[in-house]
């Protein structure tokens, strides 16, 4: 695994990635806010073809826009991030799709789950994002176009756009190729 914007404090033990995010970090491109930021933390490997990726996330969210999840990325202008984003003191299931400009969708979790599981599937020209609060039953969060036939960087991401940082634990991260199209 490689880092884009390695955090100051992180460790990897027994298959788990623990991160304390740096302050003023984010991934965003232009829309609504007018700025471009590409300094969030992203621990990735490269995956070609169709694949599934998943992870379990436990975060100590405390400041507006604290976020942790999965990312797939080609470059600073073409990426998807999904997971939990802390907005208005509520954990929001979040997905941002960026193709030059970012677009953002959220769904609130009124009862803040202790952890969430994400499953991201890349097939042909789309990415499907599913989320779970129990690791068993997954709900569709987003289906988005993403350019086909390009190897992608994929892995855990986290950031603290407004806060001083927060702790997040990523467990059970995996990627696996998909050999049969459904």
pLDDT surpasses 70 at 181: no
pLDDT band at 128; cut points 50, 70, 90: very high
Of 36-40, 95-99, 100-104, 176-180, give the lowest mean pLDDT range.
Answer: 176-180
Overall fold of domain 19-177: Jelly Rolls (2.60.120)
Domain ranges in the chain are 19-177
| Residue-by-residue DSSP string for 55-117 | EEEEE---STT-EEEEEEEEETTEEEEEEEEEETTEEEEEEEEEESEEEEEEEEESS--S-EE
b/e sequence 61-78, b meaning 16+ C-beta within 10 Å: bebebbbbbbbbbbeeeb
> Tell me: the pLDDT tens digits for 40-84?
999 999 999 999 999 999 999 999 999 999 999 999 999 999 999
């Amino acid at each position: 695994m490689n880092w884009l914007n390695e955090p100051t404090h992180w460790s990897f033990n027994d298959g788990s990635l623990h991160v304390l995010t740096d302050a003023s970090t984010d991934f965003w491109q232009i829309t609504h806010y007018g700025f471009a930021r590409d300094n969030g933390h992203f621990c990735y490997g490269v995956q070609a073809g169709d694949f599934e990726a998943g992870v379990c996330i436990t975060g100590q969210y405390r400041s507006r826009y604290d976020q942790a999840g999965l990312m797939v990325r080609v470059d600073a202008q073409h990426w998807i991030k999904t997971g939990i984003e802390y907005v208005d003191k509520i954990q929001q299931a979040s997905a941002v799709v960026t193709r030059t400009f970012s677009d953002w969708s959220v769904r609130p979790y009124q009862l803040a789950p202790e952890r969430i599981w994400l499953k991201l599937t890349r097939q042909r020209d789309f990415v499907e994002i599913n989320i779970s609060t129990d690791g068993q039953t997954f709900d569709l969060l987003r289906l988005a176009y993403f350019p086909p036939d390009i190897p992608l960087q994929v892995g855990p991401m986290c950031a603290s756009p407004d806060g001083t940082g927060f702790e997040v634990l990523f467990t059970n991260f995996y990627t696996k190729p998909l050999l049969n199209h459904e």
